[in-house]
């Protein structure tokens, strides 16, 4: 199987690899997947006072498509409000990266990671109130 150019680009030059301080209450962390399934994604967002995601970082254990999917969504969610970020669907990721059917689960995981990170952020905000 050969790889799509966009997957290769994100794989070779991944955007926003890294870590945000998970103890910062402006940061939401989402960890999805499982080692036994062959992919684990950790997506982190930082949300500013206007409710806009001003930074996003990821680390992913997984195949090239999983790494590319997480790299892509970090680019997409930056500058978006939480509701806008939640509107991102896995099909958009799959379409942008031209993922073959066996790799669709990578895009599902990326969507789940966004949801999980936002959920974590909102939980922290509720705890503060």
Question: Which residues lie near another protein (CB under 8 A)?
Answer: 3, 8, 11, 14, 17, 19, 31-42, 58-67, 102, 105, 108-109, 112
Closest CB 26 distance from another protein, rounded Å: 20
* Catalytic position from the list 106, 109, 113, 114: 106
Residue closer to another protein, measured from CB, 14 or 28: 14
Answer yes or no: 106 catalytic: yes
Closest CB 32 distance from another protein, rounded Å: 7
Closest CB 129 distance from another protein, rounded Å: 27
* Catalytic position from the list 8, 34, 37, 102: 37
Of 71, 47, 68, the C-alpha closest to 58 is 71
Q: CB-based contacts of 65: which residues, under 8 Å, 6+ apart?
A: 7, 97, 99, 103, 106
Give the alpha-carbon dihedral of 116, 118, 123, 124, to 10 degrees: 120
**What's the token pair of residue 117?**
């990170």
The H or E element spanning position 129 is none
- State the sign of the Cα–Cα–Cα–Cα dihedral 104, 98, 46, 81: negative
Active site residues: 37, 106
């Amino acid at each position: 199987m050969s790889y799509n150019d966009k997957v290769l680009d994100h794989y070779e030059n991944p955007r926003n690899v890294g870590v945000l301080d998970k103890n910062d209450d402006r940061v939401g962390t989402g960890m999805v997947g499982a080692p036994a399934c062959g992919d684990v994604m950790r997506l982190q967002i930082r949300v500013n006072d206007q409710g806009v995601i001003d930074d996003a970082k990821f680390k992913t254990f997984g195949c090239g498509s999983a790494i590319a999917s997480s790299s892509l969504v970090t680019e997409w969610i930056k500058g978006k409000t939480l509701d806008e970020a939640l509107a991102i669907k896995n099909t958009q990721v799959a379409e942008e990266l031209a993922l073959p059917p066996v790799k669709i689960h990578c895009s599902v995981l990326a969507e789940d990671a966004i949801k999980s990170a936002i959920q974590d952020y909102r939980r922290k905000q509720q705890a503060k109130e």
